[in-house]
Amino acid sequence: MSKAQNGDTVTVHYTGRLETGEVFAESEGNEPIELTIGDKQYIPGFERSVVGMEVGETKTVTVPPEEAFGSRHEELVVKVDRSEFPERLVPTIGERFQIRQEGGEHLEVIVTDLDEETVTLDANHPLAGYTLTFSIQLVEVK
């Protein structure tokens, strides 16, 4: 049986967990995901974990933040005056927005806190700073 190599297109089932054991993503009950190893479609630690696996093999790997979504950066958390939001827009905690930066690029942020005068926005990836554990099953090498 051949092993998955860098550059191969593969399909895998997976379950992603936080250190607490909480599942943050899984393919169970859905189609397996397809990826080309090394194309950087998925986090580097996940892609590298598939290399060397054989079809039908299952393994569990731990991926540190630097091989996943990176570290949290507190400079990406800002308080914005509520007056900067359009009147029709009432932000709620957990809500996601795309904001336009000065150069015209869009940045996704999440509302993490509110008070009478300000809205706290966080541009970090929600999984930044977390060590992630994945259970991976190689379904097919194409």
The DSSP annotation for 40-82 comes to -SS-HHHHHHHTT-BTT-EEEEEE-GGGTT----GGGEEEEEG
Q: How many domains does the chain have?
A: 2
* pLDDT band (50, 70, 90) for residue 106: confident
* pLDDT band (50, 70, 90) for residue 55: very high
Task: Judge whether residue 9 has pLDDT over 70.
Answer: yes
Pairing of strands 132-141, 58-63: antiparallel
Does some domain include residue 89?
yes
φ and ψ of 49, to 5 deg: -65, -25
- Residue with the larger pLDDT of the pair 64 and 89: 64
Does some domain include residue 64?
yes
What pLDDT was estimated at residue 101? Answer: 79
Does residue 51 sit in the same domain as residue 98? Answer: no
* Strand partners for 139: none
Burial class of residue 56 (count of CB atoms within 10 Å of its CB; 0-12, 13-18, 19+): exposed
- The residue segments making up the domain with residue 20 are 9-70+127-141
Q: How far apart are CA 91 and CA 72, in angstroms?
A: 23
Does residue 19 sit in the same domain as residue 62? Answer: yes
* pLDDT band (50, 70, 90) for residue 1: low
What pLDDT was estimated at residue 85? Answer: 82
Q: Which residues of 25-34 are buried (b: 16+ CB within 10 A; e: fewer)?
A: eebeeeebbe
Does residue 45 sit in the same domain as residue 96? Answer: no
Does residue 98 sit in the same domain as residue 137? Answer: no
Does some domain include residue 92?
yes
Task: Judge whether residue 66 has pLDDT over 70.
Answer: yes
Does some domain include residue 15?
yes
Nearest to 21 by CA among 49, 56, 53, 60: 60
Does residue 87 sit in the same domain as residue 63? Answer: no
pLDDT in tens, 107-122: 899 999 999 899 999 9
- pTM to 2 decimal places: 0.81
* pLDDT band (50, 70, 90) for residue 104: confident
Residue 3's contacts (CB-CB under 8 Å, 6 or more residues apart) are 51, 52, 53, 54
Does residue 86 sit in the same domain as residue 118? Answer: yes
Does some domain include residue 2?
no
* pLDDT band (50, 70, 90) for residue 84: confident
Q: Which of 46-50, 80-84, 119-123 has the lowest mean pLDDT?
A: 80-84
Q: How far apart are CA 140 and CA 142, in angstroms?
A: 6
- Run of H or E residues at 35: strand 33-36
Does some domain include residue 3?
no
Q: Mean per-residue pLDDT for 7-29? A: 95
